């Protein structure tokens, strides 16, 4: 079907039908356009009424137009409306936005989708879905990101964001053309934002200028997390924690799934299995662990249950089309669901957290918040349920509307209320929230994971592409369930996944009820040894990870990056997802097939191998690590948990470029709290130069008010042919290393 419409003075003009969508008419629509930022244009279709459809939930703030779009603006979308003769959702039709692409354009993004990194020739449905055991065939998963990043043949890039919360189908053509990217959305017409950039990095940074960046996480959240459905009673939790410490396997967090609750009632504990949660949390803290506990949105509809009674007194629940309280079945049985579109309900929800957090809870896991509903075909609440709406903290006023309009942001608004509550309970600490359901922009409130994956080799492989596409969609803090949630898998799969998962931005082992144990030691001593080494690698890299999270916080660039970021014009890298970059300087080359026989396409130039804890590349379950020529990677000591020791000594891994230079950054702050906002941090730029005989390492620049600690710096200069030169000195003073 054609989308090459003529611009019209009238709102829309019927131009005919077509195949594949049933009997329908297509109406080409007029549009308006304006610049909102220097490289970002907004195109609005005829019929778009901001007051009637409500504010943007993707954007961090509402943007006024700044002027006309230049006549030579490259990307010019076309809007249309489709009317189906047989009726259907949203009045029997939907909106279409078509964006042309040129030959050689590669497409990415679309948020949380299974399958390969490259998204050309794909269909993704933005409709948050409980997708247990999903695979590449699932059209929708737990989160919705109506966004596509396009990288042209020459390495320049553009991005398109359809600013709608309604259900959207994103269709990307396998071949270039006038409808290389097509959004088909239900509901009221909404604007499209187009970002132009000299590189994909420019576009992703500009996306962050629209949707915001993540807040700095607490440092402990970058450590390793251990979870299952479920660890209970508390004796098992203590045993898990003690095993980590006795076996010298690093870990920072133990997680608690729903079985800690009293018959799955949120904000309660089972008195038999967890008689004293405050003491349990305190004892785990003393061992260097933090704890994260699950809270779901389904509230047991039971008079006498305090949360239900309080919410009922506030008329807080989502209503059905007949204006009666909607009830659906979830873990506790029949449940009601808070209407998080209402400011007063989010405030009430946040006020439930102080007493909960007072027991020593460190973080909160919002699960089942698509919302998931049992025993119904849709797996969620009816689309004609009603959300009241209301003020959204400076964003504007959410209009009253059906669940079809707010389904994709239900989990995001829940996570916002949760984060607000944790912050109110512990104002001097950085909140940590993990959410299963989300929308473009939910990274402002919570980290995420890739949902209920399976213990299959395909899931090992696509865990890379999924976190990369999430990062390219504005969410840098994500990772898979290491070992697979659905099913058992075996020792070989677990060992390989642990080697890879230990290098993901969010690193958590997790599995479902009834499965075998999947702790690092559960598969025997050889797998335990691999897991220990993998996690010791992660903990040595924590200073680098923390620096990358600071960069994500400041710029929006992802922590884990596709290899084509190293050379966007190299076509060989465009589809590579067996390897990825951490920042710009560290290349991770994984083996994602059982035999590990696939040879990935790697960036050109010099990437020197590095070994962090004495491992060698003889272990195929540990990804190869390579440092880019010209980069400096900061490392810390091996630790049992993230704040066990001060960062002393620092180790600087240096790989000189062909001119004999290298540089790299190290960001430090207290690891928690907000003093960094007032300048209490230390950002150091290290530089290395050589005259051919001696490498000189020095501090080239610093930012922040935090004083430099008195500490040792150990330097390892990577040379060709697996050689290296080493030296040491005092941080802040020049260090000289003699070359062999």
Q: 566 with 630: CB under 8 angstroms?
A: no
Residue at token pair 């004609």: 384
Q: 170 with 141: CB under 8 angstroms?
A: no
The per-residue DSSP string of 439-504 comes to ETTGGGT-EE---S-BSSHHHHHHHHHHHHHHHHTT--S---EET-SBS---HHHHHHHHHHHTTS
Residues 6+ apart with CB under 8 A from 587: 563, 566, 579, 580, 581, 602, 603, 607, 625, 626, 627, 628
User: What is the rounded CA–CA span in Å between residue 148 and residue 213?
Assistant: 18
Residues 6+ apart with CB under 8 A from 709: 646, 647, 648, 731
User: What is the rounded CA–CA span in Å between residue 138 and residue 118?
Assistant: 16
CA dist list (Å): 99 to 104, 181, 366? 15, 5, 35
Q: 509 with 519: CB under 8 angstroms?
A: yes
* Degrees to nearest 5, angle at CA 553 with 550 and 556: 120
Give Cα 89 to chain centroid, integer Å.
30
Per-residue tokens: 564: 């084509």
Q: Residue 429: how many CB atoms within 10 A of its CB? A: 16
The radius of gyration of the chain's CA atoms, rounded to the nearest angstrom, is 26
* Degrees to nearest 5, angle at CA 147 with 141 and 152: 125
Q: Which residues pair with 735 in a beta bridge?
A: 697
Q: For 697, which DSSP code? A: E
Q: What is the helix (H) or strand (E) element at residue 244, kind and residue range?
A: helix 234-246
Give Cα 170 to chain centroid, integer Å.
20
Q: 50 with 188: CB under 8 angstroms?
A: no
User: What is the rounded CA–CA span in Å between residue 228 and residue 607?
Assistant: 37
Q: For 317, which DSSP code? A: B
Query: Which stretches within 379-456 are classed as H helix?
Result: 403-425
Nearest partner of 385 among 425, 440, 338, 419, judged by Cα: 338
Q: Residue 203: how many CB atoms within 10 A of its CB? A: 25
Q: Which residues pair with 633 in a beta bridge?
A: 653
Annotated catalytic sites, by residue? Answer: 367, 370, 452
Q: 134 with 125: CB under 8 angstroms?
A: no
User: What is the rounded CA–CA span in Å between residue 388 and residue 415?
Assistant: 18
Q: Indicate the burial class of 615 (C-beta count within 10 angstroms; 0-12, 13-18, 19 or more).
A: middle
Angle, helix 491-501 to helix 457-472, in steps of 10 degrees = 20
Q: Indicate the burial class of 432 (C-beta count within 10 angstroms; 0-12, 13-18, 19 or more).
A: buried
Backbone angles phi, psi at 465, to 5 degrees: -60, -35
Q: Indicate the burial class of 548 (C-beta count within 10 angstroms; 0-12, 13-18, 19 or more).
A: buried
């Amino acid at each position: 079907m054609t989308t090459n419409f003529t611009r019209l003075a009238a709102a829309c003009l019927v131009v005919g039908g077509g195949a594949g969508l049933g009997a329908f008419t297509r109406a080409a629509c007029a549009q308006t356009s304006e610049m909102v930022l220097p490289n970002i244009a907004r195109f609005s279709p005829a019929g778009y009424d901001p007051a009637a459809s409500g504010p943007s939930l993707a954007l961090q703030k509402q943007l006024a137009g700044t002027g006309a779009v230049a006549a030579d603006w490259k990307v010019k979308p076309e809007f249309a409306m489709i009317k189906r003769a047989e009726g259907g959702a949203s009045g029997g039709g939907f909106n279409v936005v078509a964006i042309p692409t040129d030959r050689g354009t590669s497409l990415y993004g679309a948020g949380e989708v299974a399958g390969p990194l490259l998204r050309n020739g794909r269909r993704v449905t933005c409709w948050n879905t409980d997708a247990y055991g999903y695979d590449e065939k699932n059209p929708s998963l737990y989160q919705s990101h109506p966004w596509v990043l396009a990288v042209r043949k020459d390495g320049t890039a553009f991005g398109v964001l359809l600013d709608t919360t309604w259900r959207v189908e994103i269709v990307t053509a396998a071949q270039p053309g006038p409808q290389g990217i097509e959004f088909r959305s239900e509901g009221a017409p909404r604007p499209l934002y187009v970002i132009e950039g000299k590189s994909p990095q420019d576009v992703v940074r500009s996306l962050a200028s629209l949707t915001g960046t993540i807040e700095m996480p607490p440092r402990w959240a970058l450590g390793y997390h251990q979870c299952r459905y479920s660890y209970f009673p508390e004796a098992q939790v203590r045993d898990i924690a003690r095993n980590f410490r006795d076996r010298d396997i690093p870990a920072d967090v133990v997680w608690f799934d729903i079985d800690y609750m009293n018959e799955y009632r949120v904000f309660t504990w089972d008195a038999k299995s967890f008689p004293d949660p405050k003491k349990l949390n305190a004892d785990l803290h003393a061992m260097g662990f933090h704890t994260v506990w699950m809270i779901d949105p389904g509230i047991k509809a039971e008079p006498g249950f305090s949360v239900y009674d309080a919410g009922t007194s506030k008329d807080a629940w989502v209503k059905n089309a007949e204006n009666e309280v909607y009830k659906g079945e979830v873990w506790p049985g029949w449940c009601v669901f808070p209407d998080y579109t209402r400011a007063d309900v989010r405030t009430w929800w946040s006020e439930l957290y102080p007493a909960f957090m007072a027991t020593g809870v460190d973080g909160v896991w919002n699960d089942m918040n698509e919302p998931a509903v049992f025993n119904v075909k849709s797996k969620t609440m009816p689309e004609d349920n009603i959300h009241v709406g209301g003020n959204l903290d400076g964003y504007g006023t959410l209009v009253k509307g059906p669940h079809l309009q707010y389904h994709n942001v239900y989990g995001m608004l829940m996570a916002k209320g949760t984060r607000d509550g944790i912050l109110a309970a512990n104002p001097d600490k950085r909140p940590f929230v993990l959410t299963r359901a989300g929308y473009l922009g939910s990274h402002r409130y919570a980290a995420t994971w890739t949902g209920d994956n399976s213990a299959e080799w395909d899931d090992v492989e696509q865990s890379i592409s999924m976190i990369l596409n999430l990062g390219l969609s504005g969410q840098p803090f994500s990772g898979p369930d290491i070992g697979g949630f659905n099913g058992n898998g075996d020792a070989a799969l677990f060992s390989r996944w642990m080697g890879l998962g230990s290098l993901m931005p969010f690193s958590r082992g997790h599995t479902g009820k009834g499965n075998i144990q999947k702790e690092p030691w559960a598969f025997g001593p050889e797998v335990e040894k691999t897991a220990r080494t993998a996690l010791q690698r992660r903990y040595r890299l924590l200073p680098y990870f923390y620096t990358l999270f600071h960069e994500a916080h400041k710029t929006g660039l992802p922590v884990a990056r596709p290899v084509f970021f190293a050379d966007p014009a190299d076509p060989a890298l465009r589809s590579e997802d067996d390897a990825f970059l951490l920042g710009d300087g560290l290349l991770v080359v994984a083996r994602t097939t059982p035999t590990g026989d696939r040879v990935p396409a790697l960036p050109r130039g010099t990437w020197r191998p590095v070994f962090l804890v004495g491992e060698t590349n003889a272990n195929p379950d540990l990804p190869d690590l390579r440092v880019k020529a010209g980069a400096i990677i900061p490392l810390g000591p091996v630790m049992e948990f993230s704040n066990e020791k001060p960062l002393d000594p620092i180790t600087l891994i240096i790989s000189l470029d062909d001119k004999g230079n290298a540089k790299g950054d190290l960001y430090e702050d207290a690891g928690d709290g907000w003093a960094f906002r007032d300048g209490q941090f230390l950002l150091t730029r290290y530089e290395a130069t050589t005259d051919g005989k001696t490498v000189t390492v020095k501090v080239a620049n610093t930012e922040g008010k935090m004083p430099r600690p008195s500490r040792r710096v150990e330097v390892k200069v990577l040379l060709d042919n697996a050689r290296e030169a080493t030296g040491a000195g005092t941080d802040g003073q020049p260090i000289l290393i003699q070359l062999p």
